[in-house]
Amino acid sequence: MCDDFGAQLGELRARGDEITRPVSEQRWGRLTAVRLPSGAELPLYQPRHPVAHSL
């Protein structure tokens, strides 16, 4: 989960990280995924709903 999707993706791309899914707009937020060194995918999203840490 991240607060600024555009900035986070820019930082990951600048480091050479592989973005494995196109950004999709979901009802609850924006979603993509990055490739981990193990080869697994790690989902990354920016919520559009209230999150507990900000309540």
Confidence of residue 25 (pLDDT cuts 50, 70, 90): very high
Percentage of the chain with pLDDT > 90? 69
CATH 3.30.720, domain 5-54, yes or no:
yes
Confidence of residue 49 (pLDDT cuts 50, 70, 90): confident
- Measured CA to CA, the distance from residue 14 to residue 24 in angstroms comes to 21
User: Which of 48 and 52 is assigned the larger pLDDT?
Assistant: 48
- For 3-20, the pLDDT digits (tens) are 888 999 999 999 999 999
pLDDT for 54 beyond 80: no
Total-model pTM: 0.77
Q: Would you list the domain boundaries of the chain?
A: 5-54
Q: How many CB atoms lie within 10 A of CB 44?
A: 19
- Measured CA to CA, the distance from residue 22 to residue 20 in angstroms comes to 7
User: Smallest Cα–Cα separation from 19: which of 48, 5, 49, 47?
Assistant: 5
What is the Cα gyration radius of the chain? Answer: 12
- Measured CA to CA, the distance from residue 50 to residue 38 in angstroms comes to 32
